[in-house]
Amino acid sequence: MYSVERGAEMENMCREDLMNLIQSTNFTVIEISMYLDTHPECPCGLSAYEEYSRMLRRAVDIYERKFGPLTIYNVENDGSWDWVQSPWPWQKGCDC
């Protein structure tokens, strides 16, 4: 299990490793959210949600700063629209 303290380690990850971490953490958040829909009072579920959603935000922040946007809300442009510069997820040769 990763902990929030792994922020420094995330900073040094290559694109592929960081994307793998984001995918697995994102999946964990999806899974916990769905569980909480039918168990909204569960303390274990709520604390797991806190931990993993915080970790996901941190990983996504680092990824977008270093490798490009994952949503249209965090596009940092340098003279051209960066959203369409990186490969789409189904394109081979894409790290994601």
Residues that bind other proteins (CB under 8 A): 19-20, 22-23, 26-27, 30-31, 33-35, 37-40, 69-73, 83, 86, 88-90, 92, 96
Shortest spacing between CB 2 and other proteins, in angstroms:
18
φ/ψ bin of 67: left (φ > 0), alpha (ψ from -120 to 50), beta (otherwise): alpha
Judged by beta carbon, residue 19 or residue 62, the one nearer other proteins is: 19
Are the CB atoms for 28 and 49 separated by under 8 Å?
A: no
Judged by beta carbon, residue 7 or residue 27, the one nearer other proteins is: 27
Shortest spacing between CB 46 and other proteins, in angstroms:
14
Judged by beta carbon, residue 8 or residue 84, the one nearer other proteins is: 84
Return the closest-CA partner of residue 49 out of 33, 73, 37, 62: 33
Shortest spacing between CB 43 and other proteins, in angstroms:
17
Mention every residue, 6+ apart, whose C-beta is less than 8 A from residue 75: 69, 81, 82, 83
